[in-house]
Amino acid sequence: MIHDRANQVEATITKDGFIIARQTVSRPQQGQTSTLSIPNVPIDTPLSIRVWAEDTTLKDANANLIALSEATSTVTLHSGLNSLSFALISDTTDLDISGVPPSAMQISDHAQLSAVAKNANGDIVLNTPGQFTWIVTDPTIVSVDSSGMLVALANGTTSVQVTEKGNETQNAFSKSVSVAVGSGGGTASYQIVDLGTGKEPEKINNSSVVLAFSLNSNDTYTWSNGSWTLAQSNFKGTGMNDSGTIVGIVPPQRAAVVSAGNLSFLPLGGNNGVYPTGINASGDISAIINYGSGSDQAAVYRGGSLIPLPGIEGALTGAAYGINDSGLVVGEGAWNGPFKAYRHGVTWDITNAILDLATGMQTDAPVFAINNAGTACGFMLVQTTSGLLPRATMISGNQLSHISIPGIEPNGQSNAENINNLGQIIGEATTSDGHFFPYLWSPSGITDLQASIDPSLGWTISQVLSINDKGEIVGTGTLNGSTHVLLLKPAH
């Protein structure tokens, strides 16, 4: 096996201490050979032949190329002998495996393993992912794919073995590591609080107050300190700020605010088709104007007035989904591409100027939530072999990027629902192999929220909708076949 870094093979023939011939050839492909043809080689006299592999960019202090693997021989050539074969071997003496979970995995957890082969000197001789195979002793406990991606399936302990694919000169080298799935003596990282049935949650604020509306009536409730309280009858709350002011609609679609238990209608001057979506600390409200003709327009209620917001390139169609405490509004606008109109994520600043966050992209990429740092989240439709599928996105510094989720390629899907002021994002994902899980993203990585609760409680999390700055998450889940509102609280 030629050293993984080598890109060239060189041969020299020496007679009486003097090099009489030298030739180089490109490194042969995996499993192949290379031939060097050297004419006019003396016969019937001792010759020293040296063949070595080298990296043309790697030199010593004297600017000489460094041999990464080599073979030498002293031979006497005779008439009729016209070829010699040399095998360049960098023997593997160890495999380093990285990415092994330091503690027990929980069911549905993912872990990416990788391997490098080293020789006796500790040099890396192979680090190409495709040159290793991965197998697991008990595939009912964890699964592993060809890239080394682990998925925890059931409680227990098993071994994962990585094997160098080998070559024509030595046997393949293998190494195993142990992987545990289950409690492992640890505790769930989230506590789950059952908030009951019959309601649909909308928001949790930084006072740990949950906003929800009844599925059996037009009434809105708030939950805090272990109990629900009627916030307003015949009213659907759609947003709430940290002081507890609620914005929403009185059916069929009349915008209103509930503050300290008192309901007041927004003075919209005949604009009754206004749907509020969020409210900030100053009482500014993001909204959607429904003109009743199938087209909507984004709007903001600020300073006692409803302000229609401009669309992309002068188009009016759009929607505002959230507003931060600086007055930055986030949502979507229609962009007329060369073949059709697309939903692009946009922001409107305090002067109501619009910024297209997906300029020129021929795809839908709406944005749903924004924090006080101006970081936002949403999704983008991406072309896969299974068609157009949504992928979660994050917008930071007005730059749109995908949220990396293990197992999502090539045909998985994901979305981002909400973001807090710590930059934590929540949403749901389905991997390419069909595994669904709610997640929390932070700069340190992805947390599978289903795997972060005590499995003995019997909960299945269906959806996560809102997260506050304490890391508390409100959503829905099933327990004993019924849909409940649930609150996830970090266990610290």
52 and 142 share one domain: no
User: Does 303 score more than 80 pLDDT?
Assistant: yes
In a domain, 156, yes or no: yes
Amino acid at 159: S
Mean pLDDT of the 21-36 span:
71
109: Cβ contacts below 8 Å, ≥ 6 apart: 101, 151, 152, 181, 448, 451
Q: What are the tokens at 47?
A: 């010759």
104 and 242 share one domain: no
Q: Are strands 341-348 and 354-356 parallel, antiparallel or unpaired?
A: antiparallel
Go through the chain and tell me how many residues it has. 492
What is residue 464's predicted lDDT score, i.e. its pLDDT? 98
Tens digits of residue pLDDT in 333-362 = 999 888 788 999 999 999 999 999 999 999
The 8-class DSSP code of residue 457 comes to G
Tens digits of residue pLDDT in 180-204 = 776 443 446 899 999 999 999 999 9
Q: Pick from 195, 158, 196, 159: which is nearest to 176 by CA?
A: 159
Tens digits of residue pLDDT in 306-325 = 999 999 987 878 999 999 99
384 and 261 share one domain: yes
> 150, 181, 212: which is the final residue of a domain?
181
Amino acid at 264: S
**What pTM did the predictor assign?**
0.65
Q: Pick from 274, 277, 276, 300: which is nearest to 289 by CA?
A: 274
What's the CA dihedral at 223, 224, 226, 230 to 10 degrees? -40
Q: What are the tokens at 341?
A: 């109109």
In a domain, 2, yes or no: no
Calpha distance 242→259 (Å, rounded): 12
What band does 26 get if pLDDT is binned at 50, 70 and 90?
Answer: confident
What is residue 121's predicted lDDT score, i.e. its pLDDT? 66
Percent of the chain scored above 90 by pLDDT?
A: 50
**Please, are residues 116 and 126 in contact by the beta-carbon 8 Å criterion?**
yes
In a domain, 1, yes or no: no
What is residue 30's predicted lDDT score, i.e. its pLDDT? 56
229 and 357 share one domain: yes
478 and 378 share one domain: yes
The 8-class DSSP code of residue 40 comes to S
13 and 31 share one domain: yes
152 and 258 share one domain: no
Domain of 357?
Answer: 190-490
User: Does 379 score more than 80 pLDDT?
Assistant: yes
User: Does 7 score more than 90 pLDDT?
Assistant: no
Q: Pick from 260, 292, 295, 298: which is nearest to 276 by CA?
A: 298
Calpha distance 105→155 (Å, rounded): 9
Q: How crowded is residue 166: how many other Cβ atoms within 10 Å of its Cβ?
A: 16
Tens digits of residue pLDDT in 233-247 = 999 999 999 999 999
CATH code assigned at 122: 2.60.40.1080
Alpha-carbon torsion (443, 423, 426, 298), positive or negative: negative
Number of domains in the chain: 3
Amino acid at 208: S
More confident residue, 161 or 285: 285
Site of tokens 């006072």: 207
In a domain, 140, yes or no: yes
H or E element in which residue 427 lies: strand 425-430
CATH code assigned at 205: 2.120.10.30
More confident residue, 336 or 415: 415
User: Does 274 score more than 70 pLDDT?
Assistant: yes
Q: What are the tokens at 316?
A: 């009016």
98 and 230 share one domain: no
What band does 253 get if pLDDT is binned at 50, 70 and 90?
Answer: confident
User: Does 54 score more than 80 pLDDT?
Assistant: no
Q: How crowded is residue 34: how many other Cβ atoms within 10 Å of its Cβ?
A: 15
126 and 264 share one domain: no
Between the ranges 262-271, 446-455, 463-472, where is the mean pLDDT highest? 463-472
**Please, are residues 241 and 207 in contact by the beta-carbon 8 Å criterion?**
no
Phi, psi dihedrals of residue 419, rounded to the nearest 5°: -140, 145
Q: Based on the number of CB atoms within 10 Å of its own CB, is 287 exposed (0-12), middle (13-18) or buried (19 or more)?
A: buried
b/e 406-428 (16+ beta carbons within 10 angstroms → b): bbbeeebbbbbbbbbeeebbbbb
410: Cβ contacts below 8 Å, ≥ 6 apart: 384, 385, 432
Tens digits of residue pLDDT in 133-161 = 899 988 888 899 988 889 888 777 778 88
385 and 482 share one domain: yes
